[in-house]
Amino acid sequence: MSKTTFKSALLLIGALTLSLQLNIAYSQTPSSTPTTEQIIQSLEKSGALDRAIDRGIERYRQKQINAAQAKQQKEEAQKVAMAKNARAVDVKNDFIYGKPDAVISIIEYSDFECPFCKQFGDIPNKVVDSMPDQVNLVWRNFPLSFHDPVATKEAIAAACAAQQGGNNAFWKYAQGIFKNTRSNAQGMPSVNGVDPLLALAKEQGLDTDKFSTCMQSEAVAKQVSADLEDGMNAGISGTPGVILVNHKTGAFNVLAGAVPEDVLKQEVKNLLNAKK
């Protein structure tokens, strides 16, 4: 309701009320009953009407704010409830940066072709480095359909790097993709017609024959698909999507987008102190 409409309604109510009161009073005297216009002028001149309108508008504004806050709280609660569907962190199935048994896990659902994921980059890693005994980073692939087939191929390639060199090889290869990709499904540039994913593997000292064979592996492709399905079950709809979990208390939190390092670090600290 606009201020003008609200004012008009109160003006009419005020005028009718005062008119009734004046009618009663004037019915006992020979004086004439004041007109509606005179009543309105009297109300405006006294300032009472403006004060009543201001109070009404403030009540309406506060109701709108309360409704918006209630809606936001409900949506956040729904996100947390969905996040609890994320599969448990497991060293056998996940790529983990930091101590595997850390109290807090930053589960990042990411897409190598997402420019915001590239911007987010090593921010979670820096948080882990600053709190090494309390938090770790868990990577899960979430290639978006409009970045495919490039994003899925890159996810498979990073997993193939891990097959040869474990977690360290995965993170090194992932960093190489983010450093060189042009993002938004453009991938890494090819030099002399050589597959850039293969070229990166060779540059990092991986066995290119084994790497090429792995790139065709159905099992690795299913691993990437499993990450994607897990993210959808956990309510992830965009990248980077971040779920924080406290393994001791069972408390969860959900973050969306490439948040700054200080924000992520503070959210981790908050979860460390949160109760279930």
Q: What is the pLDDT of residue 35?
A: 84
Separation in Å, CA 16 to CA 3, 33, 49, 116: 20, 13, 13, 60
Write out the two tokens for 249.
Answer: 């208390």
- The backbone torsions φ and ψ at residue 194, rounded to the nearest 5 degrees and listed phi first, read -85, 135
Contacts of residue 221, defined as CB under 8 A and 6 or more positions apart, other chains included, come to 152, 156
Residue 81's pLDDT band, with cuts at 50, 70 and 90, is: confident
Do 106 and 124 form a contact (C-beta atoms < 8 A)? yes
Question: What is the identity of the amino acid at 126?
Answer: K
Mean pLDDT of 226-255: 95
- Three-state SS for 246? strand
Q: Map out the domains of the chain with their CATH numbers.
A: 1-57 (no CATH), 95-272 (3.40.30.10)
Mean pLDDT of 18-46: 65
